Structure formats: C-alpha cells, structure tokens
Structure 1
Amino acid sequence: MYRIGFGDFFLLSVPTGGGASHILIDCGVHAKDLGSMRAAVTQMAKDCGNRLALVIMTHRHADHISGFGSCADIFAEIEVERVWMPWFENPDDQKAVAFQASLVAMAGQLGRQFQARLAAKPDPAVEQLLSMAENITGGLGVAGIAANQKALNVLHGGFRNSQPKPDYYKAGDVPTLPAALAAAGLTAEILGPPIDDALIRQMTNKNQQYLAGATEISDQPARLKPFGNAFRGRREDYGDKAFAPYGYDRLKSMLDGAQPDVLAAQAKAADKTLNNQSLVILFSFAGKNLLFAGDAQWGNWENFLYGGAYGTPGHTQLTARARDILGKIDFYKVGHHGSANATPKDAVKAMRIGCVGMCSTQEHAYNEVPRAPLLDALRQRMNDQLARSDQVAAAPDKPANPDAGPLPPAFSTPGQQLFIDYDF
C-alpha cells in the first residue's frame, strides 16, 4: 500500500515459478496530494521489473486513476498482460457509454458553477463539492484534455506492449487471469458491481453505517444561502415584465435547478454513483482470501451481501455465500478510504476475527474521513491489525501522521517511506 495522499495504490505480488507476478490495483490521488506519486510509481516499476501481469482499475475516480495519467511516461515502459475494468467502461455497451458521458458532463457543469461561486467568495463547503466534481473529471489537464481521460487513455493502450483489449466485468462474471497467475493457483471472483441500475443508485443505508451521533454529516446538504434577507422577495412583489422573456414558471424552474443545495445534492449523488461502479474482487491463493472492495457503496455491497435489494423478499439476510466469504477472509482493503458509507455493519460483523486490513487514507481531505467508529470496529474484528497509509512517511519532509498511531506489528515499512508491506 503506497502513501500518496487521499487515493488508492496497491501492489499485490504472487509467487510464481521461483519469481513473482504482480497485480496493480488502482493508482491515483486527488485530495491532499502529497506529491509522492511519481516516486511511488517509479518504485513500483523497479520492484516489478517493468512487468505487470494484471492491472485493475476499480472505477474511474481521479483518486484511483490519476497516477496513470501523471506518470504516463513511466507506464509506457511497463509491459502489461491484462487489464480489468468494471462493465461501465465497456465502449461496446451503449448503455454504459451514455451513462458515463452523462455523469462526466454533469460533473463538468457542476465544477464550473462551484468555481464561479468560489471566485466570488471562499467557502470550505463549496471547495469540497468542487473536489467531488473534479474527482470525476480529474480537472482540466494539458491541451484541454481532462486529466481522467488521459489516465483512461493509458489504461486502454498506453503500456509498453499492445496488451489485449481490457476485460470488463460485473458481479458473477468469471474473470480471465494471466496464465502465470492461474498456473500458480491464484483464483479470482468478481463480486461487484451489479448490472442492476436500481442497485447502482442505492447509495446509502444509514442503519448500516458506523456513525458518530451528532457529528454525522447528513447526506442531505445543509441549505446554503448566498443572499441576505434584504435581497429576498415574493412573486407578488413584481409584475409580469420582471420575468420576461421566460415567464415566471420557467424562470423559477431554471433558478431552482441552480440553487446551491440542489447543486450540492447533485455533486454528492454523482460522486457516490461512480463509487458504486467499483469492481469488488475476492482473490484466493494458498488458502488465503483477500477482498478488494474499491469504493463500493451500499447498492454494490447490497448485491453481494443479500443477493439483491435489501428488505425485498428473499433478500433480508446475508446469503450463505456472503457469510462463507467473509467468514474466511484473511485480508480486507478497507473501502473508500475509511468512509462511513463504504463498509456496512453486516459486512464487518461477518468478517473472520483475526483477519487483517489496510486503509489508504489521508485526514482532512473530506469531512470525518476516515471514520473513527468504523476503524474502531474493524480494529476490534482484526485484533488491532489494521494499517493506515498515513502510518508511513511519504518522503523525508512528509513524516507519518502521529495521530494515526503506530503501525501494527503484522506490517512492515522496508524503505521507511512510500509504502507499507504485508506478507502472508
């Protein structure tokens, strides 16, 4: 697990025939960028000998893919055998193409409106909303190309070899592993994302979150008021000419759609929808089971845990398969950097006592992330063997976060900076 700031960057190395084959799972940072991405990618390329058996993009948020774009020159020297992405990235799926285009267009429009508001007046709440919008696009890169699009271009063909067309997976698909990994005995099961639109739209279930009472930030944004009461009025105060040329009803509809609280809700919904596209993968090797959940939120977990929409007939408790997987889990990559909405209570309660976890996170990037009650619950389940990326220095001038506590003894920091190791 590399420390780059608020983002995910994991390297999984599998013993194969006297050597090792490597799986890269995401490579990105967005908020609280520590400036260590290039050093981390350089280190990764050296450690894997410029060869990756498999590259996995869980979803297209900047904090999971930006490194592919910013370090495109390094990746251009790396040979890659296979690339996995969620089904939402399949260019031959017109439904997926339209869905992503609409999401990116919305994020771009929201970003411009938030930038305009910040230009008029600094506002930390709007800054966070802008960060959410730009996490979808990556912001504007060189030559006017969105940074996330540059990263996607690398994933679709920017490696040293002409790797095969990426594989696009949904829950239940049987993935194709590189030959060396399969021969070594590694298996993989795709647990998410679901294909069901209704589940993808299921963002949050408060009853399944580890909340902190009064400190919980509501998913419904607080109403922002950009104008003082002196500037407020009623319809009856104005004649019809005041609303020309659109007319009162149309103008009201246009203004309602541009209200700060509406824009905030749209930004949060877009952000969570993209998280719910995450590939969720269970790897098994030599009797060990590793769960990588990306940033999956409620609908994605709901499909895995209950086999469908929770509370509907036949989907009111954990499936036997979900209980079996979680009851045998040895390693869990904590979802969504330790956010409250990405690791349901039922999932934590079903995890094997004594498993270990890694959480890539950075404090003060977003409100109450990582979520203390969630991390406390995971530590209890894991017998305190939960590592945070900020427990290691990113560089000599960027030390470990003292508030993160000491690194648990199950983990190591071979170079004393940049990454944390766990060996089975």
Structure 2
Amino acid sequence: MAARRPTEVVIFTYQVGFGDCFLLRFVYASMARHVLIDFGTTGLPEAAESDQMLRIANDIAVKCGGVLDMVVATHRHADHISGFATKDGTASGDIIAALAKAAVVLQPWTEAPDLAVDAEGPLPDDHQGFAARRASLAAMQVFAAELVAALAAKPPRGLSKAALDQLAFIGRDNIANLSAVENLMAMGRQRIYAFHGLAVDLRKVLPGIKLRVLGPPTLKQTATIRKQRSSDADEFWQIAPQRLATEAALGAGHDELFPGHPYDRTTRLPMEARWFARRVEAAAGDQKLALVRVLDKAMNNTSLILLFDVRGKKLLFPGDAQIENWAFALAQPEITALLAGVDLYKVGHHGSRNATPKTLWNGFANRGGRTKKGRMTTLLSTMPGKHGSADEGARSEVPRTTLLKALLDDTDLHATHLLDAGKLCDEVRIRLV
C-alpha cells in the first residue's frame, strides 16, 4: 500500500510572464505521475526568447517522460490557455496534446461543450436557465472582441492612456483562443467539467491523492448569495442576455457623442457647453471600460479552485478566482477549517488585490515569520507593470504591493518575476515522509 502513496511532490513554476503554467510531479516508490495546471501567457518578459512557450512545452515533455496524466485548464482566459493553441502539428499545444493522449482533462463546468437546453448537466432541474447563462458567456466574449476592436480603431475621448492600455489588455485576454479551446475539447481520454463539491475519483490516475473541488459553484449553488446581493445579481456570474443586449446597444451608433466638435480653438461648440461635453465624453469612455471589466471579472469567477491533499499536505490552486467565486466556499465552516491547514498556495490572479480574500489569508494557520515551523510556501506567476496602476486612487497594480509584502514576510515565496533572467522555471520540493 505504501508504494501507492507519493513520497515527494515537485512543482515546476514556468516563466510565462503574465500567465500561469505549473507542472506537478507526484513521486512514488517506483513511478511518477504528472499534472499540468494551465499553460498560457499574454506577455512574455523582455529577457524571454520569442519561442519561450515552445521551449516550455518541450521541457514539460522531458520532465514528464513523455506522458501527462492530468491536464487542468482553470478557465478560458488567454493567459491561462494560450499555450494550448495548435498549428500544423508543431506548436506548443500540439506537443501538450501528444503528451496528454491518455490524460484526464479537468475544466470548470462552464466549459462543457455539449450542453443544451435539455442537457442533464450540473443543474439537472434548471436546464433552461443554465443553458441561457452559458450562452450569455459566449456572447460576452464576442462582445468583448468587437468592443475592443472598435475602441482600438477609434479610442473614445476622455480616457487616459493608462485606461486605454488596461482596456486593450483585458479585452485581448477575454477573446476566446479558438485553437486552444478546441484542442482542450479533444485532448485526453476523459474530460471532467467540475464545480464545487463534485466528487472526482482519481485513484487510478493519482493514487493516494485526494482532490477537492472548491469552486466554481454552479448558479444553483450560489442562489442564496445572489439573493443577498440582489442589486447586482445579474453581474454575480454572467451578464444576463437581455442586459447584454441593452449594454451593447448603448455602444451602437456614433462613437462620439459630439461628432464634428473637437475641443480646440476651431470648435463650434459654445464656450459654456465645452465643460459639459468633456464630462459626458469622459463618462461614456468610463462606461465602455467598465463593461470590459465586468467581462473580465465574470470569466475569472469561472476559475477552478482545487485543493490537493497529499499525505496530509494541502496544495491550493485557485486559478484567477475572485471574491464572488470564493464567497460560496468561504461561507462554509468545514471548508474554512480545511483551508486553514494549507501548506502551499498558488497565489490567485497573479497577485491582484481581489483574488486572495482576507478571510482566506487570515485563516492560513501556517503563515508566519521565517522561524515558524512548517511555514507555508507560496507560488506567484506574474509580471509587474503589465496590468493595473499603483496610483493612490487606483491601487490596482499587479502584483499588489501590500499583498506582495505580506507574501514575502509571512511565507516562503517563489515568484516568477524574481527568477534570474533566462531561467525557464522555478522548482519547489515537498517531502512527504
């Protein structure tokens, strides 16, 4: 029996810049099993080579001995799945697909490709609502693509360069990578679309390891929470189709509210009206930016939250889950007690301010100073300067300065932006015996 239990876990955190890619190796007495969690980027570091993702795929092939036992795509954002893209059998996604021929592929329930109005999916007694909301998610991605393309071609007045850069970044990240999505749909021998509480039996794939799915919850599971937040219930997970249509219509017609009236000395707009015009144009630009932010938040909240229990060691991988995703799990005393004992935490959403809830952070019993016995380990895949702003009014830089300080002070932090230039990955070893 002992031979069927791991003796060590090795975790490789790959340098993908702004993105995630983790290879977990579970070492047994006479074998090893490998799990790939995410493989994507929306911006490589300046020191990285242009073929970095291909190099990483080849390195994964070497490290796993040509076989991946499990592939996890926490959610659809490009910075988590772009590496799964294929091209003529030679791209990074082609390499991963060859490694994962017999793998179990785990994705959130929102990615199930064959759901229909009468599908017997995660919401067996609410098929119609489930299908409609899932359809709205696909519609949001199309809307994001069209909106970002239009704004890139003709930026609205009133938005700063920083705001425009943020809008473009979020929009690109939300646009579906069709090749990567289709590759994941066809990959492996078994695909599981998971949600909070789903029992995932991995005894044959990862013997001696227990996997708990803490998120995302289904819409049915979040009904109580949605009721408590009735003022914005339609934004809790996805924009409802009727609202999406309304908001899309708001952006139709002229891109400018005052066409033909630039704010310079040649304007025909009366002097007393120029102040008002500037304010209205700025508000319209802010509204468009807010729409794309909503899309980004909705997609992040479909992230898988996975807790691996390996001989008493707990490894937490939450993708980009934000507070709406976390809230359901953190409201349950059994789950918070379980999370208190986490030994390794993959920092959510590249270190953003809204993906490591303080309830979660304060509950970690193993965080503490350098002399703390059994001090927890944290993994952070990020790239400063890519997203957000450190301005006092915004305080949205990624990674967030205050969170980064807490990670450095209270955990053994392994962060990709602290790796030596040219180093392909970081390595963490956890002995289990």
The answer to whether the 8 A contact 2:107-2:193 is kept is: yes
> Is 1:41 the counterpart of 2:57 in the alignment?
yes
Residue equivalent to 2:214: 191
Find 1:156's aligned residue among 178, 182, 185.
185
Tell me the CA shift for residue 225 of structure 1. Answer: 10
Equivalent residue letter for 1:68: F
Q: Which residue of 2 aligns with 1:123?
A: 161
Counterpart AA for 1:346: T
Are the counterparts in 1 of residues 169 and 387 from structure 2 also a CA contact under 8 Å? no
Shift of 1:10: 0.3
Instruction: Figure out how many residues of one structure are paired with residues of the other and give that number.
Output: 338
2:150 aligned with 1:106, yes or no?
A: no
Q: Which of residues 228, 231, 236 in structure 1 aligns to 2:263?
A: 228
Whole-Å Cα distance in 2 between the matches of residues 374 and 231 of structure 1?
50
Displacement of 1:202 after TM fit? 4.0
Once the two structures are TM-superposed, the CA of residue 324 in structure 1 deviates from its matched residue by 1.6
What do residues 152-194 of structure 1 show as CA deviations (whole Å, max 9, x unaligned)?
Answer: 1111115xxxx3341101111111326141x2x0110000001
Instruction: Determine helix, strand or coil for the equivalent of 1:21.
Output: strand
1:135 to 2:156 alignment:
no
Say which of 359, 364, 372 aligns to 2:380.
359
What is the RMSD computed on CA atoms of the aligned residues?
A: 3.1
For 1:65, the equivalent position in structure 2 comes to: 81
Unaligned stretches of 5+ residues in structure 1: 139-147, 204-223, 237-254, 307-318, 396-416
Q: Tell me which of 23, 26, 38 is aligned to 1:14.
A: 26
- Name the amino acid aligned to 1:386: L
Deviations 1:115-161 (A, max 9, x none): 113599993421221111111115xxxxxxxxx11001111115xxx
Change (3 A) 1:258 1:119: closer
Change over 3 Å in CA distance of 1:231–1:421 after alignment to 2: farther
1:76-95 equivalences under 5 Å are 76-78=97-99, 79-94=101-116, 95=131
* 1:371 lines up with 2:383 in the alignment: no
Q: Does 1:392 align with 2:419?
A: yes
C-alpha distance in 2 between matches for 1:225 and 1:326? 51
Matched with 1:217 is: none
Is 1:320 paired with 2:333?
yes
2:14 and 2:359 map into 1 onto residues whose CA distance is 28
Q: Is the alpha carbon distance of 1:375 and 1:283 closer, same or farther for their aligned partners in structure 2, counting shifts above 3 Å?
A: same
Supply the AA of the counterpart residue of 1:388. Answer: A
What are the residue-to-residue correspondences of 1:377-416 with 2, within 5 Å? 377-382=406-411, 385-393=412-420, 395=422
2 CA distance for matches of 1:338 and 1:418? 20
What secondary structure is seen at the aligned counterpart in 1 of 2:105?
strand
**2:195/2:218 contact within 8 Å kept:** yes
Give, in whole Å, the separation in 2 of the partners of 1:364 and 1:165.
Answer: 39
Partner residue, 2:347: 334
Distance apart, 1:81 and its partner CA: 1.7
How far apart, CA to CA, are the structure 1 residues paired with 2:151 and 2:190?
A: 37
The amino acid that maps onto 2:37 is I
- When residues 54 and 171 of structure 1 are mapped into structure 2, their CA distance, relative to the original with a 3 A threshold, is same
Give the superposition deviation at 1:375: 1.8
SS of match in other structure, 2:398: coil
Answering whether residue 66 of structure 2 is matched by residue 50 of structure 1, we say: yes
Question: What do the CA deviations read for 1:259-303 (whole angstroms, capped 9, x no partner)?
Answer: 321110001110111000000000011210000010000111111
**Which structure carries more relative contact order (alpha carbon 8 Å, separation 6+)?**
2
What's the TM-score once normalised by structure 1's chain length?
Answer: 0.73
Per-residue deviation, 1:97: 3.9
Q: Secondary structure of the residue that 1:60 maps to in structure 2?
A: coil
Q: Could you tell me how far 1:257 is from its partner in structure 2?
A: 12
Partner residue, 2:372:
none
Report the counterpart of residue 371 of structure 2 in structure 1: none
Q: Helix, strand or coil: the match of 1:166?
A: strand
Task: State TM-score, norm by structure 2.
Answer: 0.71
In structure 2, what residue type is equivalent to 1:123? K
CA distance in 1: counterparts of 2:293 and 2:268, whole angstroms: 28
